[in-house]
Amino acid sequence: MRTIISAAVASIAIATGPALAQDGDMAFGTEDDIAYAELLWDLMEAERLAGPNMIRAFPYMGTEPHGMMLETFYDVGTIGDHTGDLIVKRNFGPEGVSVDEVLSNPDGHLGAYTVMFRREDGYDPENLDWFWARYNPDGSIAENPMGMALAGRVARGMDEGCIACHQGAADDMVFTSDHLIAN
């Protein structure tokens, strides 16, 4: 399923914000990152990957930081004039939660959505142009303990976080091999 989210995307350019990478560049949590993450949430709702009308899947065992039970969806989405790979992971908890508990009350166990969306060439070539975001169950953008929005090049150039962890993946910064490639 492919949905196009058209908005004032042209006005979203990577700019300054609160998180600095080791090279001094703004890494994540900027106003532009937040605006793009909001468009991404709209896309996810339109695709029924998030929100009150979302489709459901059978959860599987996960690990932190994502959650003890997970549902993962692979799609392709369009924001503005760009189409890219979209990976949406629903994170369920708490620790020790069972498949049956998640199946019987998925909304009650949903802790977060963690998302990767491949942006246009040149967005972040060192990290294969992935845009990272973490959303609370209500669709608001999650923040780290320092109050920085978890959207954009999350923890680029840092020792911990989305990019640092996913650099260890053997294929395309994705720990699974069955994701889509948008061309």
Q: Which amino acid is at 62?
A: G
Judged against a pLDDT cut of 80, whether residue 89 lies above it is answered with yes
Location of structure tokens 């896309």: 43
Q: Which amino acid is at 114?
A: T
Whether 150 maps to a domain, the answer reads: yes
Q: Is the pTM of this model over 0.85?
A: no
Whether 7 maps to a domain, the answer reads: no
Whether 174 maps to a domain, the answer reads: no
Whether 179 maps to a domain, the answer reads: no
Band of residue 4 on the pLDDT scale cut at 50, 70, 90: very low
Whether 37 maps to a domain, the answer reads: yes
Q: What's the pLDDT score for residue 164?
A: 72
Structural domains counted in the chain: 1
d(CA 181, CA 157) in angstroms, rounded, equals 25
Whether 178 maps to a domain, the answer reads: no
Residues 6+ apart with CB under 8 A from 150: 28, 29, 132, 133, 134, 141, 142, 143, 144, 162
Percent share of the chain, pLDDT over 90: 51
Q: For residue range 97-156, what is the model confidence (pLDDT) as tens digits?
A: 999 999 999 999 999 999 999 999 999 898 889 998 999 999 999 998 888 899 987 666
The angle at the Cα of 50, spanning 151 to 107, to the nearest 5 degrees, equals: 110
Whether 3 maps to a domain, the answer reads: no
* 151-152 and 60-61 strand pairing: unpaired
d(CA 104, CA 143) in angstroms, rounded, equals 28
Whether 153 maps to a domain, the answer reads: yes
Q: 13: closest CA among 38, 39, 37, 31?
A: 31
Q: What's the pLDDT score for residue 112?
A: 95
Contact 46, 69 (CB under 8 A): no
53: domain range?
Answer: 12-166
Band of residue 159 on the pLDDT scale cut at 50, 70, 90: low
Band of residue 11 on the pLDDT scale cut at 50, 70, 90: very low
